[in-house]
Structure 1
Amino acid sequence: MGVELKPFHLEWLAFQDANPRSVLLAPRGHGKTTVADVLYVLWRVLNDPDARVLVVSNTLQQAKAFLRETAGHLLGPELSRVWGGRKGARWTETEIEVPRRRVAKEPTITAAGTGGAIISRHYDLIVCDDVLDEENTVSAAQREKVRTWFFKTLLPCLEPDGEIHVIGTRWHYADLYGELMEAGWPARVDRALQEDGSALWPERFDAASLAAIRRQAGARIFNCQYQNDPSGYEGAVFKYRDFRFYEPGGEPEGLQVFAAADLAISRSESADYFAFVVVGLDAEGDIYVLESFRDRLTFNGQVEYIISRAALHSPLRIGIEATAYQQALAQELARRAALPVVEIRDTRDKVTRAWKLAAHFETGRVLLRRDAAELQEELLQFPHGPHDDQVDALGYAVELAAGYKDFVVRNF
């Protein structure tokens, strides 16, 4: 059949076989349809030609495509030898039938779309393959519509001793997949990137290619579609729905540029993270986040980085929080490059400062680069995420750009 199965593919099949009701969440491009839909259905039909199977996807067109793949394997030289290759009375885009022992009004396999009518039919196996998409999860009303259809229309079509397997990828923290798992359905959740940083399927998506996808798609989309982690939709302080984006290179010309740093507080080689953010203010008062950076740098490394970015962007002001260590770094910058460094004295705690920054997002004033995945992650995970350095630096840079006077700024 030309299908190469990896160990995790075999685990998917074993998981479905062991659980009459299951939720399998897998990353995009990792073979979930071919394995958990097509191959599983083929195995069931070849073992029981009398089985009545329903395959559902987000659209009828998509379900038809899945059925074509299944039918193609059935008619191929390898499998046709097993069951004889003789088409039944029904063989269309939405229904196929193999020779069977019992008479049933349902064909062997039926294709249907999410929300479609399924009247007076009963099935031994239902496979829900990608029944969710962006359109039917974008609002609470759409999610409720899918939920109602699933519980009131689809589930009653399943025989009491039948199987139903829901396979897909997360779209929203309150989607149907999450509800089923919360209700206790056996679930397996796979991520393209494992906790140790290794790739689930390195031959197809190695860690470097996944990092490139994350930069291109953005943190929220990558985490949902490849990590099955929808938490980015709702942060504790920053909400994804408040984010405005611009494409790299799409910022207007003539921006007034400001920058700010959240400095590592130690001179050691293994210091805390250093963060640097550059923003640009346009004539309408919108603030474009031009770049953001976070890394562990030594004292000299931080100085050199700020000098290099200042040479590129020519900021009107570079904000640095006032502490003894940071004052020393600011003075070194002024000595070596005569940069427009200003000291920021702010007695507010990190969370209070973050709420001030979140207000700018809520009013639509701040625009993020669409490929700034790391910054998006840090904002959406704040204050519970592992890092908050870029959040602090961005807050200072935005306040410099917005011209707020509710904290003291003085020149060195």
Structure 2
Amino acid sequence: MDSLKDLKSFLQALPKLNDKDRESRVKRAKQDFYSFITTYLGHHIGLEYGMTKKESSKFRAWVYTELPKIIANKVTPTNKMVVKAYRGAAKTTLISRLFCLWQILRGDKRYAIIISSTLDLAKEGIDLLKIELEDNINLVQDFMIKKGSLWNNEELVFSVEQERESQVNTHESDNTEVLQDKSKSALKIATGKVSQLCKIKSFGAGKKIRGTNFLSMRPDLIICDDIENDENIESKSQRDKLYKWFNKAILKLPSRLNPYYHIMLVGTTLHYDSLLQRIALRKDFKTFSFPLLPQMPSNLDLLTKESLATFKPRGYILDDTSLHIKEILSDYLEDKASFYSEFQNEPLDKDNAPLSNYTTYTNLPPHIDSCFIGIDPSLGKKRGDYFALSTLFYNKKESKIYASSKGYKIAPDKMIDKILTLFTKTRKLTEHITIACEEVAFQEFFKNELKKKFLTHGIYTPIIGIKSNTNKEIRLDSLAPLLSDGDLLIYENDNLLKEELDTYPKGAHDDLIDSIDIARRAMIASSCINYKEALKATRDYKDKFNSLKEL
């Protein structure tokens, strides 16, 4: 609906459902969240009454099926949770509004609070629910909803018909199933209808909220919906202030006597030090994260603004298959920092990303003195890792290293062909080529197979093994000064590599960076070192260099 006025008109024109089916309809709606939506509120997800569709989004499917199970679990309850989802996933509509209402109408919750970044935004949700509870005749009559003493765009008090079971004494002669005792009297379960008062109230983030209660009840459902915005995450002092308020105010809201309360922090990750990120790291919260692209295209390096129209993405996974991948990739090309923050739940942390300060190049210099190819096979590593190939082009006159790196997700038998192709292209630039592969387990086997394949093609070039005697993190961190000083340049169109550099060490992958380090260590071990200058450095910095031979 375009406006609340349109929603009101739509609801007033709804046909009334058959009263004969009311009992089964309500029972089904209370048992299944998706049935509740399609029966009474389908217009909020683009459906007419009674219509269903196969859900195209993994996130929304999780909300319909898994979230109700998590909330209903009283054996191992998850009282506090973080739900991170990409912008446009419909998290506000589904969780903060419809799921909140469903919990109230089921009778599971009595006092729900919805908190947004501002009170005005929170009021929008209350306004929408208010119209539904006024004009959705099928919802109102099926659940016997009646207005209470407070009815405005900040808080709604209303009653809902609920079934209540009670034990009553009966006699053996009663025409019911009973549990008999020695006195020939028994107990039976009697089911009756009761009207249960409940409340939904809105608040703005950072506002006074401590001690709020309804009929002496503390809130049992607290939904913090995108309580951060571009303003209140801008400075560390503002982020600290919001975090302090969340700890002192929000976490103290539920009653200690109620073990089944729920606090839900729902939002989009706007900053690497945001409240959402801080809380997600806590052990007392369970985190559920839904990026728009759980798996980026494996051929991302071929993507540029110029090639977007003809680009054919491969190997990607999209949360919502109804969306257009080209439009999403256009957003990626336009502003990568915003893309990772708003759509991937991975805000870039330049302050704590030691390899993110790099310079790019678009063209190689006219003369290349030597090349070093580093191989990081995905053999024996975790599923999803890249087979990485990096080439370091060395220009002696400039004392610059030009890096180009590609990542592939292909079968092992295809890897050697990729290396052969790369070698052939590189040979046009220089005859001084060294290929390096790390000497561990499967990689050692791969190196030997590569040598055999090269020999069968009549190619005689050094293929060496590189031993790792240093912690991987220390090795990769050592690339930082080369990058920041501009001695190691990165090819502008190597998108996968740039992604790894921007997100290291917290990123999902570092395979391409690792292959660069392998090539760099091959370069150090080669004769391209200027020994005259190195010996001079040894004399000048005796405390830093024990021996040149250690290199």
TM tier relative to shorter chain: 0.5 to 0.7
- Code of the residue aligned with 1:293 in structure 2: it is G
Q: What letter corresponds to residue 495 of structure 2 in structure 1?
A: A
Please report how far the alpha carbon of residue 317 of structure 1 lies from its aligned counterpart in structure 2 after TM superposition.
Answer: 8.0
CA 1:291–1:188 in structure 2 vs 1: closer, same or farther (change >3 Å)? closer
Does 1:301 pair with 2:301? no
User: How many pairs were matched up?
Assistant: 375
Q: Which whole-Å CA distance do the structure 2 matches of 1:126 and 1:218 have between them?
A: 33
Residues 66, 200 of structure 1: CA spacing in aligned structure 2 closer, same or farther, 3 A cutoff?
farther
Q: CA deviation at 1:372?
A: 2.3
8 Å contact kept, 1:260–1:393 = no
Aligned partner of 1:376 among 495, 499, 505: 499
Contact kept? 1:23, 1:177, Cα under 8 Å:
no
Instruction: Say whether residues 1:91 and 2:172 are aligned partners.
Output: no
Deviations 1:97-153 (A, max 9, x none): 24459xxxxx94333333233366335232112335676567765543222101212
Query: What is the SS of the residue equivalent to 1:408?
Result: coil
- The answer on 1:409 being equivalent to 2:518 is no
Alignment partners' CA distance in 1, 2:230 and 2:452: 50
Give SS of 1:33's match: helix
Q: Which has the larger radius of gyration?
A: 2
Q: Is the 8 A contact 2:476 2:517 kept in 1?
A: yes
Point out the more displaced range, 144-153 or 133-142.
133-142
Would the aligned equivalents of 1:12 and 1:36 in 2 still touch at CA under 8 Å?
Answer: no
Corresponding residue for residue 114 of structure 1: 205
Higher relative CO (CA 8 A, sep ≥ 6), structure 1 or 2? 1
Per-residue deviation at 1:374? 5.9
Aligned partners of 1:218 and 1:332: how far apart in 2?
44
**CA–CA distance in structure 2, aligned partners of residues 66 and 277 of structure 1:** 54
Displacement of 1:233 in angstroms is 5.4
Cα deviation, residue 357, structure 1: 0.7
Q: Which residue of 2 aligns with 1:55?
A: 114
CA distance in 1, matches of 2:387, 2:108: 61
Percent identity over the alignment is 17
Q: Which amino acid aligns with 1:166?
A: L
User: Aligned runs of 1:314-353 on 2, under 5 Å?
Assistant: 320-321=435-436, 349=469, 351=472, 353=475
What code does the residue aligned with 1:14 have? K
Matched, 1:27 2:126: no
Give the SS at the match of 1:394.
helix
Which residue identity does 1:256 align to in structure 2?
Answer: P
- State the match for 1:391 in structure 2: 513
Which digits, 9 at most, give the CA deviation of each residue in 1:276-332, with x for residues without a partner?
A: 347899xx9998866533455444431223434787xx6898664499967888999
Of 222, 225, 240, the residue aligned with 1:129 is: 225
Q: CA deviation at 1:53?
A: 3.0
Structure-1 separation of matches of 2:493 and 2:227: 27
Equivalent residue for 2:248, pick from 152, 163, 172? 152
Does the 8 Å CA contact 1:343/1:409 hold for their aligned counterparts? no
Closer/same/farther in 2, CA of residues 37 and 274 from structure 1, 3 Å limit: closer
What SS does structure 1 have at the residue aligned with 2:266? strand
Task: Give the counterpart letter for 2:282 in structure 1.
Answer: E
State the secondary structure of the residue aligned to 2:528: strand
- Deviation string 1:352-398 (CA, Å, 9 cap, x unpaired) is 6423212334568766859824663488567998763x224434778
The answer to whether 1:261 aligns with 2:379 is no
Question: Any idea what SS the aligned residue of 2:85 has?
Answer: coil
Contact 1:243 1:368 in 2 (8 A): no
Q: Any gaps of 5 or more consecutive residues in structure 1?
A: 102-106, 267-271
Q: Is 1:166 the counterpart of 2:285 in the alignment?
A: no
**CA 1:376–1:184: 2 relative to 1, 3 Å:** same
CA contact (8 A) 1:245 1:367 kept: yes
* 1:198-218 deviation digits (Å, cap 9, x = unpaired): 969564479x78995996576
TM-score normalised by length of structure 2: 0.49
> Offset of 1:23 from its aligned partner?
0.3
SS at match of 1:34: helix
Structure 1, residues 183-237: CA drift from partner, whole Å, max 9, x if none?
434x252545789x9969564479x7899599657699659954x678x859xxx
Counterpart-to-counterpart distance in 2, 1:201 and 1:322: 36
Counterpart among 120, 139, 142 of residue 79 in structure 1: 139
SS of the equivalent of 1:97 reads: strand
Matched letter for residue 355 of structure 1: D
- 1:104 is aligned to none
> How far apart are the structure 2 equivalents of 1:381 and 1:57?
32
* Separation in structure 2 between the aligned mates of residue 114 and residue 153 of structure 1, nearest angstrom: 10
Aligned residue identity for 1:394: I
Match for residue 276 of structure 1 among 363, 373, 390: 390
Take 2:231 and 2:431, find their aligned partners in 1: how far apart are those partners?
A: 43
AA in 2 matched with 1:21 = N
Query: What's the Cα RMSD here?
Result: 5.8
Amino acid at match of 2:481: A
More off after superposition, 165-174 vs 353-362: 165-174
